[in-house]
C-alpha cells in the first residue's frame, strides 16, 4: 500500500458526501462505506485502499456490537466486514442476520480467510452481496464495494478460480452432514483432538477420523487450515442450511 501511485483523498468522516464529476459530465454522490475488523492494521489498510479510490469511509468498528451501533448512527451505502470477530459481540452468520434484519437493503461485502464453496453458500444464504478472499489483490477491494453498491454480486477472482479448479462453480449447496459428522465437527470446534472425541463418544479414532474426512469432503474443505477457519466463523447448522 505504501507504494501505491494513487492519490490519497483526505477528508473527515463527518463531512457530507462530495459530488465528484462523472466522466460524462454529470455529478454523482460519493459512495460511503463502513468497515469492520478486529485488527487495526486491516482497518487502516482497508481505509487507505477505499479512500484512494474515492470511496468515503464514514466509520470503523472493531466488533459486531460496535458495527451494529455505528450502522444506527451513520448512514452508509456499503458495509465491508470481517466475520471472525469473536470478542466484540455477534459475528459470523449471526452478525449478518442482525445487519439484514435492521438494514435489509444495505449491501454487505465480507472478508473471508477460506475459499470453501460451503462458506460461499452460507454467506449468500445470509444475504451477502460480495465475498472477498483475504488474499485478494488490493484492487479488488474497491472493485467489490463499487460492484455491490451498483446492485451486483461480487466474488473475488481468487475465490472464483478456486471454485472453478474444483469444478464446483455451479454448486448450489453442500451435501447434508450426518448427525455423527456434525458432532465430530462441533467437538473439533471446541478444541478436542480425534483421540479425545473417540474416547468421549466410545468410538475408534479411525471411525472419528473417517467422519471428519467425510464432513470435509461434503463441505468442500481441502485441508485443516480451511476446516478450522470454517469452524471459527460459521456454525455447523447454518452451513448445512445454506
Residues 151 and 229 in one domain: no
Per-residue pLDDT of the chain (242 residues; tens, 9 = 90+): 444 434 333 333 334 444 333 333 333 468 999 999 999 999 999 999 999 999 999 999 999 999 999 999 999 999 999 988 877 788 888 899 999 999 999 999 998 877 676 677 677 777 899 988 888 889 999 999 999 999 998 988 777 765 555 544 344 444 578 889 989 988 998 889 999 999 998 999 999 999 998 888 777 676 776 777 677 666 564 444 43
Residues 114 and 153 in one domain: yes
Of 154, 163, 165, 150, residue with least CA distance to 132 = 154
Is there a domain that residue 2 lies in? no
Is there a domain that residue 183 lies in? yes
Which neighbouring-strand residues pair with 109?
80, 130
Supply the pLDDT for residue 76: 96
Task: Answer yes or no: pTM beyond 0.75.
Answer: no
Supply the pLDDT for residue 161: 64
Residues 74 and 161 in one domain: yes
Supply the pLDDT for residue 126: 78
Residues 161 and 41 in one domain: yes
Supply the pLDDT for residue 146: 95
**Domain final position from 165, 195, 229:** 165
- The CATH number assigned to the domain holding 47 equals 3.40.50.2300
Residues 66 and 123 in one domain: yes
Residues 201 and 89 in one domain: no
Residues 63 and 156 in one domain: yes
Quick one: residue 37, left, alpha or beta (phi over 0 = left, psi -120 to 50 = alpha)? beta
**Domain final position from 165, 198, 217:** 165
Contact (CB, 8 A) for 6 and 50: no
Which neighbouring-strand residues pair with 35?
60, 80
**Domain final position from 165, 197, 230:** 165
Q: Which residues of 149-184 are buried (b: 16+ CB within 10 A; e: fewer)?
A: beeeebbbebbbebbeeeeeeeeeebeebeebbbbb
- The CATH number assigned to the domain holding 219 equals 1.10.10.10
Of 117, 160, 118, 152, residue with least CA distance to 135 = 160
Total domain count for the chain? 2
Distance of CA 130 to the CA centre of its chain: 8
Nearest 5°: the CA angle 198, 200, 202 is: 60
Q: What is the rounded CA–CA span in Å between residue 229 and residue 92? A: 11
Residues 39 and 149 in one domain: yes
Supply the pLDDT for residue 49: 95
Residues 160 and 185 in one domain: no
Is there a domain that residue 25 lies in? no
Is there a domain that residue 235 lies in? yes
Enclosing domain of residue 194: 179-241
Supply the pLDDT for residue 99: 95
Contact (CB, 8 A) for 169 and 160: yes
Amino acid at each position: 500500500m505504501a507504494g501505491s501511485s494513487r492519490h490519497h483523498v483526505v477528508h473527515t468522516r463527518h463531512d457530507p458526501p462530495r459530488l465528484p464529476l462523472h466522466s460524462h459530465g454529470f455529478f454523482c454522490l460519493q459512495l460511503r462505506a463502513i468497515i469492520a475488523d478486529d485488527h487495526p492494521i486491516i482497518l487502516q489498510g482497508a481505509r487507505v485502499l477505499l479512500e484512494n479510490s474515492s470511496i468515503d469511509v464514514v466509520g470503523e468498528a472493531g466488533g459486531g456490537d460496535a458495527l451494529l451501533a455505528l450502522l444506527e448512527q451513520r448512514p452508509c451505502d456499503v458495509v465491508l466486514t470481517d466475520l471472525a470477530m469473536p470478542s466484540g459481540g455477534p459475528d459470523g452468520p449471526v452478525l449478518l442476520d442482525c445487519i439484514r434484519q435492521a438494514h435489509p437493503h444495505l449491501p454487505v461485502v465480507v472478508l473471508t480467510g477460506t475459499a470453501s464453496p460451503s462458506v460461499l453458500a452460507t454467506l449468500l444464504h445470509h444475504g451477502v452481496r460480495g465475498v472477498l478472499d483475504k488474499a485478494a489483490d488490493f484492487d479488488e477491494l474497491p472493485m467489490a464495494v463499487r460492484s455491490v453498491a451498483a446492485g451486483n454480486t461480487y466474488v473475488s477472482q481468487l475465490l472464483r478460480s478456486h471454485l472453478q479448479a474444483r469444478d464446483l462453480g455451479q454448486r448450489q449447496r453442500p451435501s447434508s452432514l450426518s448427525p455423527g459428522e456434525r458432532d465430530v465437527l462441533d467437538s473439533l470446534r471446541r478444541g478436542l483432538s480425534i483421540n479425545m472425541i473417540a474416547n468421549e463418544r466410545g468410538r475408534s479414532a479411525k471411525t472419528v477420523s473417517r467422519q471428519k474426512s467425510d464432513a470435509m469432503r461434503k463441505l468442500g474443505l481441502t485441508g485443516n487450515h480451511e476446516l478450522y477457519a470454517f469452524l471459527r466463523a460459521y456454525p455447523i447448522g447454518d452451513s448445512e442450511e445454506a
